[in-house]
Structure 1
Amino acid sequence: MGVPVYKRILDLFEAEGVNTLFGIPDPNFVHMFTEADARGWSVVAPHHELSAGFMAEAASRMTGAPGLCIGTLGPGMANIAGAIQCALVENSPVIVLGGQRARITERRVRRGRIQFVQQEDLFKNSVKFSSSIEYADQTDEIIREAVRQSMSGTPGPSYVEFPSHIILEELDVPDPLPPNRYRLVNQGAGEREIAEAVALIRTAKNPILLVGHGVHTSRTQEQVRELAELMACPVIQTSGGTSFIPGLQDRTFPYLFSPAANEAVEQSDLCLALGTELGEPMHYGKTQHWADNDANRKWILVEQDPTAIGVNRPIDVPLVGDLRGVVPQLVEALRQSPRTPSADLEKLIKADAAELARVAEEAPSGRAPIHPARYVVESTKAFDECTEDGILVRDGGATVIFQWTYSQTKPRDVIWNQNFGHLGTGLPYAVGASVAEGRKRPVMLLTSDSAFLFHIAELETAVRENLPLVCVVGVDHQWGLEVGVYKRTFEQPSPQPGVHWSKDVRMDKIAEGFGCHGEYVEKDDEIGPAIKRAFASGKPAVVHVCIDPKANSEEMPKYDRFRTWYAEGTQ
Structure 2
Amino acid sequence: MAVKVYERVLDLFEAEGIDTIFGIPDPNFVHLFHLAEERGWTVVAPHHEASAGFMAEAVSRMTGKAAVCAGTLGPGIANMAPAIMCAKVENSPVVFLAGQRARITEQRVRRGRIQFVQQAGLFEPSVKYAASIEYAGQTDEIVREGLRRALTGGPGPVYIEYPSHVIQEELDVPPALPPAAYRLTGQQAGPDRIAEAAGRIRAAERPVLLVGHGVHTARAAEPVRELAELMACPVVQTSGGTSYIKGLEDRTFPYGFSPAAIEAVVTSDLCLAIGTELGEPVHYGRGRHWVENEANRTWILVEQDPEAIGVNRPIDVPLVGDLRAVVPQLAGALRDAPRSPSPDLDDWIARDAARLADLAATAPSGTSPVHPARLIVEATKVFPADGIMVRDGGATTIFGWTYSQAKPHDVLWNQNFGHLGTGLPYAIGAAVADGRRRPLMLITGDSSFQFHIAELETAARLGLPLVCVVAVDYAWGLEVGVYKRTFGQGSRETGTHWSTATRLDRVAEGFGCHGEYVERDEDIAPAIKRAYASAKTAVVHVVVDPKANSEEMPSYDEFRTWYAEGMQ
Instruction: Provide the TM-score with structure 2 as the length reference.
Output: 0.99
1:62 alignment counterpart: 62
**Superposition pairs of residues 120-135 of structure 1, within 5 angstroms:** 120-135=120-135
* CA 1:388–1:30: 2 relative to 1, 3 Å: same
Amino acid at match of 1:208: V
CA distance in 2, matches of 1:106, 1:564: 47
SS in 1 for 2:450: helix
Q: Residue 359 of structure 1 corresponds to which residue in structure 2?
A: 359
1:104 CA drift (Å): 2.8
The 1:481/1:469 distance shift into structure 2, 3 A limit, reads same
Say what the alpha-carbon RMSD is for the aligned residues: 1.0
Secondary structure of the equivalent of 2:219?
coil
Deviation at 1:115, TM superposition (A): 1.1
Q: What is the match of residue 435 of structure 2?
A: 438
Q: Which runs of 4+ in 1 moved over 4 A?
A: 568-571
Q: How does 1:336-347 map to 2 (within 5 A)?
A: 336-347=336-347
Match of 2:108 in 1: 108
Match of 1:408 among 405, 408, 411: 405
CA contact (8 A) 2:561 2:567 kept: no
> 1:240 and 1:344 mapped to 2: Cα distance?
25
Matched letter for residue 453 of structure 2: I
Shift of 1:107: 2.3
Residue aligning to 1:164: 164
- The equivalent of 1:557 in structure 2 is 554
- In structure 2, the residue matched to 1:153 is 153
- SS of 2:468's partner is strand
**1:442-480 deviations in Å (ceiling 9; x for gaps):** 111000100000000000000111111110000000011
Q: Does 1:482 align with 2:479?
A: yes
| Residues 59, 436 of structure 1: 8 Å contact kept | yes
Residue of structure 2 in register with 1:88 after alignment: 88
Q: How many residues align?
A: 568
Unaligned regions of 5+ residues in structure 1, if any?
A: none
> Deviation digits for residues 344-402 of structure 1, max 9, x if unmatched?
1101100110000011111000000000000000000111xxx2411000000000000
**Pick from 479, 489, 494: which aligns with 1:492?**
489
SS in 1 for 2:517: strand
For 2:530, what is the secondary structure of its paired residue? helix
User: Partner residue of 1:313?
Assistant: 313
Please say if 1:24 is aligned against 2:21.
Answer: no
Would you say the 8 A contact 1:103–1:165 is kept in 2?
A: no
Task: State the TM-score, normalized to the length of structure 1.
Answer: 0.98
- 2:281 corresponds in structure 1 to 281
The equivalent residue for 1:543 is 540
Question: What is aligned with 1:217?
Answer: 217
- Which amino acid letter does the alignment assign opposite residue 523 of structure 2? E
Q: Does the Cα contact within 8 Å between 1:283 and 1:567 map onto a contact in 2?
A: no
Alignment partner, residue 504 of structure 2: 507
In the alignment, the residues of structure 2 paired with residue 17 and residue 309 of structure 1 have an alpha-carbon distance, to the nearest angstrom, of 30
Does structure 1 residue 194 correspond to structure 2 residue 191? no
Q: Secondary structure of 1:36's partner?
A: helix
2:529 to 506, 511, 532: 532
Q: Is the 8 A contact 2:253 2:260 kept in 1?
A: yes
Partner Cα distance (1:376, 1:492) in 2: 26
How far off its partner does 1:568 sit? 6.2
Q: For residues 45 and 111 of structure 2, what CA distance do their matches in structure 1 show?
A: 32
The offset of 1:274, in angstroms, is: 0.1
Letter in 1 for 2:456: L
Whether 1:448 and 2:445 are equivalent positions in the alignment is yes
What is the alpha-carbon distance in structure 1 between the residues aligned to residue 480 and residue 287 of structure 2?
A: 29
Return the alpha-carbon distance in structure 2 between the equivalents of residues 353 and 45 of structure 1.
43
Q: Match for 2:486: what amino acid?
A: T
Q: Could you tell me how far apart the structure 1 residues matched to 2:107 and 2:334 are? A: 60
Please name the residue that 1:465 is paired with.
462
> How many Å separate the matches in 2 of 1:514 and 1:416?
24
Matches of 1:74 and 1:125, distance apart in 2: 18
1:474 partner letter: A
The CA deviation string for residues 472-519 of structure 1, in whole angstroms up to 9 with x for no partner, is: 000000011100010001133211101111110000000000000000
CA distance in structure 2 between the partners assigned to 1:9 and 1:491 by the alignment = 57
Change in Cα spacing, 1:569 to 1:135, as seen in structure 2 (3 Å) is farther
2:9 — aligned with what? 9
Shift of 1:184: 1.1
3-state SS of 2:451 partner: helix
Aligned mates of 2:11, 2:387 — CA distance in 1: 32
CA distance, structure 2, for counterparts of residue 89 and residue 557 of structure 1: 26
Which residue matches 1:428?
425
C-alpha contact 1:207 1:268 (8 A) present in aligned 2: yes
1:509-545: CA deviation from partner (whole Å, max 9, x where unpaired): 0000000000000110100010000011011000000
Q: In structure 1, what is the Cα distance between the partners aligned to 2:439 and 2:9?
A: 32
Aligned to 2:291: 291
2:136–2:169 CA contact under 8 A, matched in 1: yes
Residue ranges of structure 2 left out of the alignment (5+ in a row): none
Partners of 2:53 and 2:187 in 1: CA distance:
28
CA distance in 1, matches of 2:488, 2:536: 47
Counterpart secondary structure, 1:367: coil
Letter in 1 for 2:391: R
Bigger mean CA offset, 355-364 vs 484-493: 484-493
The Cα shift of 1:569 comes to: 7.6
